[in-house]
Amino acid sequence: MKILNLIVILLLVIGCQTVKKATDISPLDKAIAQHFDANVDTVTNTSGTFILILQTQEPTMQVPVNALKFGIYDIKKEAIVYTEQKYNARASWYNDEYISIKSRPGVKSTDDAINSAMEHCYINVKTLVKLTKLPN
């Protein structure tokens, strides 16, 4: 009898627990679903105020280089505030305020300054300004 009572109580407890609905998706997941396909990586900055979203597509016959799509998610605004796609590129946190983007341009310019800007830049996550060199 005690076992039966225990089973009934256990079933009541399990049955009364709230079930997470499909509409209970986090703002981050909603934003990712709107801007990206599946299989993304997310990296939060050290202060926990912005999230770098990374999606890499492996080379295919149509696009023989890897394609990187990345975005910046502002946790306070609960929105993706910047997205960009580059080929043969990598993106990572440089520090708490800047993202470093390194890429290999498909066609090089005769101007070394243009090549440098195409190969490595920084994005300020607060102002969304793209820089070729960091301020001192």
User: What are the residue ranges spanned by the domains of the chain?
Assistant: 21-131
Average pLDDT over residues 28-54: 93
Q: Give 34 or 107, the one with higher predicted confidence.
A: 34
Query: For 60-109, what is each residue's pLDDT tens digit?
Result: 887 777 889 999 999 999 999 999 998 889 999 999 999 999 987 666 66
Looking at residue 37, what is its pLDDT? 84
The overall average pLDDT reported for the chain is 83
Q: Does residue 12 register a pLDDT over 70?
A: no
Instruction: Read off the pLDDT of each residue in 34-43 and give the average, rounded to a whole number.
Output: 90
Tell me the per-residue pLDDT of 44-58, one tens digit each, with 9 for 90 and over.
999 999 999 999 988
CA distance 26 to 31: 9
Tell me the mean pLDDT in the region 28-53. Answer: 93
- Give pLDDT, residue 59: 80
- Cβ-contact 74, 49 below 8 angstroms: yes
pLDDT reported for residue 96: 95
